[in-house]
Amino acid sequence: MINCDLINFQLDTVLKTTSKRTLANFLIYNFLRSELKKQIMEEKSNCAQVPISFLLCSSIDFFMQILLNIFPISALRIFARSHFDKRKMKMASEMAEDIRNSLIEIIQKSTWLHEKTKMNAIQKVKMMNMKIGHLKELEIPGELDLFHDSIISSRIDSSFYHLEKISEKFEIEQFMDFVASHLPILSNNDYFEAHAFYQSWKNRLVVNVPFLDDPFFDPTYPKYAKIANFGEAIAHEMGYGFDSEGRKRDETGKKNDWWTSEDSLEYEKRAQCFMNQHNGLHLDGNLTKSTKIDEMIADMIGVAVAWNAYNKIDFTNEPKIIGFEDYHMDKMFFRLTALNWCGADQGKSKVFGVNGVFSNMKTFAKAFNCPVGSPMNPEKKCELL
């Protein structure tokens, strides 16, 4: 049994009976040890994931990583300003708008959603806040300086240690600014990763700068290729706004049931159809039920919306892909879309992303001439919207 009085008494005795020099050494030692541990942990997580690799990291990489960790937003801004083709940002934003309109159209055309549910769903898509690439706010002249005001006005005349403490304070300020909604994105390294993500609690879609680059996106790609990969990925992320959890939030991201009870029941029935299909495919069951179903819903919406956008392309001036000059364009769309699920670490459940999704699409069966009843054209199909 722990007796607090006893511990206090002992600490009190220790403090009183130990020499000041020993106590000071003990405190300094603990402080340094925790600081060093922080540095090593940081270095370890920044270098390759081999346990001893932190010893092999070059010092330039190391300091570069410290800088990126402390100033991710500023680094992103500088990168975008100096090394990024502005046309990409514009083109990607325009394509994201096309995808938004394509999703709205699909909701409008839904044969089972009631008017009230449709209206609310469309409102949610219209209000989806899209952050494509870096922060436009920081492009305003002088904004970057203003952003670093607390650092610039600090006394930067002393040691590396002092500088590090100022930056730590800056990191905390940025975090608190994000919590207080003064800063639109959380200052962290996630923005250096080549991906897009949807934040359901804010009804917001974020596309990172590195995602707007080869092999995901390039201004020179034919439009159908851009829709099949970038467009599909954006539509997939938007789809999370209508997965089993996302659909329970409104256009502001707040929990709010905007479905008619009849439509809610029908949605659950349709979602269950995917679940049964997935179980029938005997795919790996590592994911929880809701993660699986949400991924499938995002997949279905992603491809359906991209297909709808693809059908609006004016093909007169669209270049052909070398080696596929005579290949049927619709088939090409599905092939290019399927590439989105390619990757070294894709689990078996990703198989649904291609075979499961495509086998539910009449348009796929038509493009590839699959006979009714064949694996990729089953009689019983699942459909969401």
Which residues lie near Zn ion (CB under 5 A)?
A: 298
Neighbours of 368 (CB within 10 A): 15
DSSP string, 208-268: -GGGSSTTT--TTS-HHHHIIIIIHHHHHHHHGGGSTTGGGB-TTS-B---S-HHHHHHHH
Q: Which is nearer to Zn ion, 195 or 202 (CB)?
A: 195
User: What does DSSP say about strands 129-132 and 196-199: parallel, antiparallel, or unpaired?
Assistant: unpaired
Q: Which is nearer to Zn ion, 298 or 300 (CB)?
A: 298
Q: Quick one: which of 342, 73, 89 has its CA closest to 213?
A: 89
Q: Quick one: which of 322, 341, 358, 364 has its CA closest to 221?
A: 322
Least separation, in Å, of the C-beta of 290 and Zn ion?
13
Q: Which is nearer to Zn ion, 147 or 198 (CB)?
A: 198
Report which residue type is found at 294. Answer: D
Q: What do you get for the CA distance between the two ends of the chain, in Å?
A: 61
Least separation, in Å, of the C-beta of 233 and Zn ion?
9
> Can you read off the two tokens belonging to residue 103?
């999703």
Report which residue type is found at 15. Answer: L
Least separation, in Å, of the C-beta of 303 and Zn ion?
12
- Cis amide leading into 210 (omega within 30): no
Q: Which is nearer to Zn ion, 44 or 202 (CB)?
A: 202
Q: Which is nearer to Zn ion, 198 or 259 (CB)?
A: 198
Report the distance separating Cα 355 and Cα 284, nearest Å: 15
Q: Which is nearer to Zn ion, 298 or 365 (CB)?
A: 298
When CB distances to Zn ion are compared, the closest residue is: 298
Report the distance separating Cα 369 and Cα 372, nearest Å: 9
Q: Which is nearer to Zn ion, 245 or 330 (CB)?
A: 245
Least separation, in Å, of the C-beta of 228 and Zn ion?
16
Least separation, in Å, of the C-beta of 239 and Zn ion?
8
State phi, psi for 284 to the nearest 5 degrees: -65, 140
Least separation, in Å, of the C-beta of 201 and Zn ion?
17
Report which residue type is found at 84. Answer: F
Least separation, in Å, of the C-beta of 343 and Zn ion?
12
User: What does DSSP say about strands 129-132 and 204-207: parallel, antiparallel, or unpaired?
Assistant: parallel
Report the distance separating Cα 221 and Cα 231, nearest Å: 12
Q: Which is nearer to Zn ion, 104 or 238 (CB)?
A: 238
Least separation, in Å, of the C-beta of 351 and Zn ion?
14
Spatial contact of 204 and 130, defined as CB atoms under 8 Å apart: yes
Least separation, in Å, of the C-beta of 342 and Zn ion?
14
Q: Which is nearer to Zn ion, 106 or 298 (CB)?
A: 298
Q: Which is nearer to Zn ion, 185 or 298 (CB)?
A: 298
Q: Quick one: which of 68, 65, 76, 74 has its CA closest to 212?
A: 76
Least separation, in Å, of the C-beta of 353 and Zn ion?
9
The structure tokens 């064949």 sit at 374
Report the distance separating Cα 145 and Cα 86, nearest Å: 22
DSSP state of 352: I
